[in-house]
Amino acid sequence: MGTLLIASTVFSSLLILLLSPLKLLALWLPTLAPPVRRLLTAVQENWASNNGRLYRLLPGLRWEVHGMETLRRDRWYFVMANHQAWLDILTSFHVLNRRIPPLKIFIKQELLYVPVVGLAVYALDYPFMKRYSKELLARKPQLRGKDLETTRAACAKYADYPVSVLSYIEGTRLTPAKHQATASPYRHLLKPKAAGPAFVLSALGERMDCVLDLTIAYPDGVPSFWDFCCGRVRRIVVDVRLRDIPPHFCHSSYENDAAYRAEFQQWIGNIWAEKDNTLDRLLTAAPSSHH
C-alpha cells in the first residue's frame, strides 16, 4: 500500500510538472489561465480520488464522517484542523476532495526543495510561508510585515476563483512529549498558535466565507503511515463544522493591536476547547454509519 501511495503521488507530481509550462503560456494568453488552472487542479483531485480507491484495499478500514451536508464548491473556506500524524494530510484530502474548492495548504518554504513534490505544489499555487523569528526581527526590524506581504502576493492568485486554504494551527504534530513539554491545557490537543490563523485571515479574510473546522480522530490510537499501509487502522472519524469569521478580523493587525490580539486568541482558544470536547466524544463513541 505504501508503495502504491508513493507511486500515485510521484506520478501525479510528474504530470503536474509536465503540464506546468502551460502556465507560462497563459502569461502571454491570459484567456488560457482558467482552463490551465482547472487542468492542474483536476490532477490534484484525481490524485485524491485514486488514493481513495487504494484505501478500499485496506481490510476493515471504516470512515465515519459527520457534517458534510452544507459544503459547497463555490465558497472560499479557511480550513483549520488538528494534527496528530502524517495521515492527517491524506485524511483531509480524502474527506474534502470535490466537496469544496481545491485545497491549498500553507506550507513552509523549505518544502520547495523536496524533489518533484516541492515543484509540483509550487505549480499548484500553494502559498509558501516564510516566517521570521522574533530574534531575527529584533536584529532586522525592516523585515517586520514582510511575511504578510509575501502571503498576500501569493494569495492574489486566488482573487478570481474559490479555494480552500488548510492550516494545521498547532504548528506541529501532537505527541505525548510535546503535550507535556508545552503544558497544554487540552486533553487531546496542543496549544493553538493564534498568530498563524490571524496571519491567514489578514491576507485572505475578505474572501473567506467561513472557517471549516475539521476534527480528525483515530479511536484505535494515533497511527503511523506504516500502520495505515499495513491495514492496522480500523476507524478514522472526522467531524466537520462551519464557523463564522467575525468581519473585523479581516482588517485588524495581530502584531500591532493588543486588544485585537487578545480577542483573537480567546476566539481561537474557545474553538480549540470545543474541539477538545469533540475529540473526547469521537474517541469514545461507538462506531456509527459507514462512509
Residue 195 lies in a domain: yes
Q: What is the pTM of this model?
A: 0.87
Residue 207 lies in a domain: yes
Residue 2 lies in a domain: no
Residue 31 lies in a domain: no
pLDDT tens digit sequence for 199-250? 778 777 677 788 999 999 999 999 999 999 888 999 999 999 999 998 888 7
Model pLDDT, residue 147:
64
Model pLDDT, residue 92:
95
Across the chain, where does the E strand assignment appear?
62-66, 77-81, 103-105, 107-108, 128-129, 164-167, 210-217, 235-243
pLDDT tens digit sequence for 138-193? 777 766 666 666 666 666 677 678 889 898 888 788 888 999 898 899 999 999 98
Report which residue type is found at 50.
N
Model pLDDT, residue 142:
67
Residue 53 lies in a domain: no
pLDDT tens digit sequence for 251-282? 888 878 889 999 999 999 999 999 999 999 99
Residues 123, 125, 131, 137, CA torsion sign: positive
Residue 11 lies in a domain: no
Domain that holds residue 79: 60-284
Model pLDDT, residue 62:
93
Higher pLDDT, residue 94 or 125:
94
Buried b / exposed e over 50-59, threshold 16 CB at 10 Å, is bbeeebeebe
Residue 45 lies in a domain: no
**Where residue 166 sits, what CATH number does that domain have?**
3.40.1130
Q: How many domains does the chain have?
A: 1
Identify the residue whose cell numbers are 505544489: 121
Confidence tier at 47 by pLDDT (50, 70, 90): very high
Mean pLDDT, the chain, whole residue set: 86
Confidence tier at 97 by pLDDT (50, 70, 90): very high
